[in-house]
Amino acid sequence: MDAHTTSMTDGFHLIIDALKLNGIDTVYGVAGIPITDLTRLMQAQGLKYYGFRHEQNAGNAAAIAGYITQKPGVCITVSGPGFLNGMLALANATTNCFPMILISGSSDRAIIDLEQGDYEELDQMTAAKPYAKASFRINRPQDIGVGVARAIRAAVSGRPGGVYLDLTAEVLGATIDAEEGKKSLIKVVDPAPAHIPDDASITRAISMLEKAKRPLIILGKGAAYAQADEEIRRFIEQTGIPFLPMSMAKGVLPDSHPQSAAAARSYAIGQADVVMLVGARLNWLLSHGKPPLWSEKTAYIQLDIQSTEMDSNRPIAGPVIGDIKSSMKAFLKALKPKQVQVAEEWTNGIGERKRKNIDRMAGLLNADPSPMNFSSALRAVRAGIADHPDVYIVNEGANTLDFARNIIDMDKPRKRLDSGTWGIMGIGMGYAVGAAAVSGQPVVAIEGDSAFGFSGMEVETICRYKLPIVVLVFNNGGIYRGDEDGSAPSPTGFVPGARYEKMMEAFGGVGYHVEDTKSLTQALRDALASGKPTLINCMIDPTAGTESGHIQNLNPKLAIAH
Ligand code: ADP
Ligand code: TZD
Ligand code: MG
């Protein structure tokens, strides 16, 4: 007898009802015991379900969907190994402050707790704890509503992060009275409440900016996430302070904005006396705020929702604890006309450096070597996407990442999705599917050939769901470079001249093999016009890259020759 048609319901239905009640309409995952029926039922009940080939990629899709929408992205996996495959994405989401919920089915608790060797046995809730913002287990069907509510709140309130929700096979199959089940569900009210900053913190920060001779604003992906684009733009334009976007904050204000100091980054950072961090941490990506890049004397204002972020690397003289939208509103309200004025000397100094650097870059960009190098290929990509300001750019690799970050300008916020806080490889196809799924917009994934390999099998997923994704593989035959000789394959090299485009063709998508900039631009234009899943295999000079890209200084060198 079907429990749902009588007055009974079960765990499968309750979890779906709880997600739907909270506006979650999309789930990313990989099916198997004990969640196969759950994935089928989700689809039958109107949730969009994206089935992947590996849980890491499903998890990355969920995480980036959370970043783009401010709603937790949900990933579902099987127990044990499926859970662990998804865990990397959950840890990466937590590290990057993306809201995500990983739900995994789990085996029999009684057997797990005595380590009696169940199918895919693992104490998943405990395993998840160190890498998640929160980790919960639902042990009774009547607790599903509470479990989902807690997971949603934990994922999106305060600093967003990854939440693990353990769902035992027993709970999934358990039945309870339908009416009682319905009553047990919770519709979360105001899951990410505004966090209003203290007025005194705003006054203090403005007075620091008022006295500053060379102020600088740094926008991080927390600012992008906060969807405070209009408030941020008004504050920057009213004060005239130059700004620098961190990579995923590119487009919060267009890269073409006259106040962008991006082309004079080191100068602006090195010379600034007061720096206002807006949703950006002083981690390795900002050299911890320390010399030689930074001056010892720089004073910091920091806008963040997480109070414990203050003083983590440098003393923060102007902490502003609040959500960025509320904080920027408070700044705009408190700011008196012409209260903060930026000396022309400072903006002119930045302007001069920008022009010099742009002129220097132009030489590189305009060259058209054969085979292509990173800058010539990216100039071709830039031309190919010029008429598509709505495309999402996914980007990973080493040289491929460094060059693309600088060469591909962003016009709109939250459109650049990349390796982020960890500098991680493998986010490519997951982020691409997640961005296409939540937006319906085209995605161009600019991938190092090594980076692509970490999630490359998802080209099948892209073809199956007919997503408007164009994958550009920057094929230089290896990690950083493809020219290391030796009798054995080198640790960094791959099969030279590999035909990655055939991977897309294998599943019904379109493949291109391009060796020059003109064909690259044309292929990209055609791909975007067609909206078809496409992979463009871009042949790049194997000698063009630098080991470790722009972060060579972080790579320890052999102290004793081998
Ligand atoms: P980036 O890598 O771009 O420099 P980080 O990931 O290091 O950015 O920093 C993002 C910061 O933004 C985190 O410290 C996080 O707590 C903060 N943050 C995220 N969302 C918000 C928000 N809505 N309001 C305020 N701060 C936020
Ligand atoms: N594994 C994971 C998960 N993340 C990593 N960052 C690395 C390994 C190490 N790594 C980098 O930091 S960049 C990179 C690796 C393997 C690949 C660089 O090669 P690529 O890019 O082909 O993607 P370029 O254009 O050849 O530099
Ligand atoms: Mg490479």
In this structure, the answer to whether residues 306 and 455 fall within a common structural domain is no
Higher pLDDT, 506 or 6: 506
Within a domain: residue 243? yes
Residue after which a domain boundary falls, among 316, 351, 386: 351
Nearest CA to ligand 1 atom 21: 222
Same domain, 534 and 484: yes
Q: What residues flank ligand 2, with Cβ below 6 Å?
A: 397-400, 423-426, 448-451, 474, 476, 479-480, 545, 549
Given the CA of residue 396, which atom of ligand 2 is nearest to it? 23
The residue type of 5 is T
DSSP 288: G
pTM, entire model: 0.97
173 and 229, same domain (yes or no): no
Please say whether the beta carbons of 145 and 14 come within 8 A: yes
Q: Are 368 and 260 in contact (CB under 8 A)?
A: no
Q: Measured from the CB, is residue 309 less than 6 Å from ligand 1?
A: yes
Residue 470's contacts (CB-CB under 8 Å, 6 or more residues apart) are 442, 443, 444, 445, 524, 527, 528, 534, 535, 536
Confidence at residue 5, expressed as pLDDT on a 0 to 100 scale: 57
Query: Based on the domain organization, do 380 and 340 belong to the same domain?
Result: no
Q: For the chain, what is the mean pLDDT?
A: 96
Q: Do 400 and 493 share a domain, yes or no?
A: yes
How far apart CA 304 and CA 339 sit, in angstroms, is 23
User: Does residue 157 line the site of ligand 1, with CB under 6 A?
Assistant: no
Closest residue (by CA) to atom 24 of ligand 1? 323
Residue nearest to atom 2 of ligand 2 (CA): 425
Helix-, strand-, coil-residue percentages of the chain, each rounded to 5: 45, 15, 35
Per this entry, what is the length of the chain? 562
Q: Based on the fold, state whether residues 408 and 470 are members of the same structural domain.
A: yes
* pLDDT confidence band for 1 (50 / 70 / 90): very low
Confidence (pLDDT) at 97 = 98
- Average pLDDT (331-357) is 97
The minimum-distance atom of ligand 2 relative to the CA of 482 is 26
DSSP 3-state of 196? coil
Q: Which domain holds residue 222?
A: 199-351
- Please state, in angstroms and as integers, the Cα–Cα distance from residue 164 to each residue in 12, 59, 135, 148, 232, following that order: 18, 11, 5, 10, 33
Mean pLDDT, rounded, for 25-54: 97
Residue 132 sits in a domain whose CATH number is 3.40.50.970
Average pLDDT over residues 137-161: 98
Give the number of the ligand closest to the Cα of residue 193. 1
- One domain, residues 456 and 533: yes
Shortest-distance atom of ligand 1 to CA 322:
25
Q: Which residues share a beta bridge with 320?
A: 303
For ligand 1, what atom is nearest to the CA of residue 246? 3
Please check whether residue 465 lies inside any domain of the structure: yes
The one-character DSSP state at 454 is T
The answer as to whether 470 is a domain residue is: yes
pLDDT tens for each residue of 490-549 = 999 999 999 999 999 999 999 999 999 999 999 999 999 999 999 999 999 999 999 988
Nearest ligand, CA of residue 479?
A: 2
Which residue of 96, 221, 285 sits with most ligand 1 atoms within 8 Å of its CB, as the best mutation to test the pocket?
221
219 inside domain: yes
Confidence of residue 6 (pLDDT cuts 50, 70, 90): low
CATH code at position 337: 3.40.50.1220
In the structure, ligand 3 is a single-atom ion and the residues with CB under 5 Å from it are 448-450, 476
Rounded to the nearest angstrom, the distance between the alpha carbon of 97 and the centre of ligand 3 is 28
In a domain, 357, yes or no: no
Closest C-alpha to ligand 1, atom 6:
96
Q: Could you give the number of structural domains in the chain? A: 3
DSSP codes, 286-323: GGGG-TTTS-TT-EEEEEES-GGGTTSSS--SEEEES-
Digit-coded pLDDT (tens) for 283-315: 999 999 999 999 999 999 999 999 999 999 999
152 domain-assigned: yes
Tens-place pLDDT, residues 220-270: 999 999 999 999 999 999 999 999 999 999 999 999 999 999 999 999 999
Q: For a pLDDT cut of 90, what percent of the chain falls above it?
A: 93
Kindly report the protein residue whose alpha carbon is nearest to atom 22 of ligand 1: 323
Given 302, 323, 351, which residue is the final one in a domain? 351
Q: 391 and 335 in one domain?
A: no
Q: Same domain for 178 and 205?
A: no
End of a domain among 351, 382, 406?
351
Q: Do both 237 and 310 map to the same domain? A: yes
Question: Ligand 1 pocket, 546 CB below 6 A?
Answer: no
The predicted structure's pLDDT at residue 552: 83
- For residue 324 and ligand 1, the question of a CB distance below 6 A is answered with yes
Give the C-alpha separation, 188 to 91, whole Å.
24
- Residue 557 in domain: no
E strands of 491-547, at which residues?
510-514, 534-539
Asked if residue 497 belongs to a domain, the reply is: yes
pLDDT at 487: 83
Percent of the chain with pLDDT over 70: 99
Strand 215-219 with 175-177, pairing: unpaired
Same domain, 103 and 210: no
Report the pLDDT value the prediction gives residue 2, as an integer from 0 to 100: 52
**What's the rounded mean pLDDT across residues 176-205?**
98
Do 141 and 29 belong to one domain?
yes
